[in-house]
Structure 1
Amino acid sequence: MENLKVTIFQAYLFWENIEKNLQNLALRLSMGVREKTDLIILPEMFN
């Protein structure tokens, strides 16, 4: 069985602003995920 690589993403969320949250996620992930990951876990209230 292979190992599962998990990335847990914690970030400030902008209330009821989906577009800004998605932009923030894209920016943070491009800066922070350096290795291959199989699963990205977002905050419960992300969307």
Structure 2
Amino acid sequence: MKPTRSGVVCLLIVCVTLVALTLLTRRNLCEVKIRNDTQEVAAKLACELVS
């Protein structure tokens, strides 16, 4: 496997793992917040929740 292709595969695995872990710990992905002592990162999507 070429170095560039293996890097893309590794990045894809990391992204899929992060999405899977987020889905396991939260009910939906409409809003995700990550906080530490000095910073807060928030990602919000415009989505409707269907009951």
TM-score clears 0.5: no
- Higher RCO by CA contacts (8 Å cutoff, separation 6 or greater): 1
Structure richer in strand, relative to its length: 2
TM-score (norm 2): 0.35
Structure richer in helix, relative to its length: 2
TM-score (norm 1): 0.37
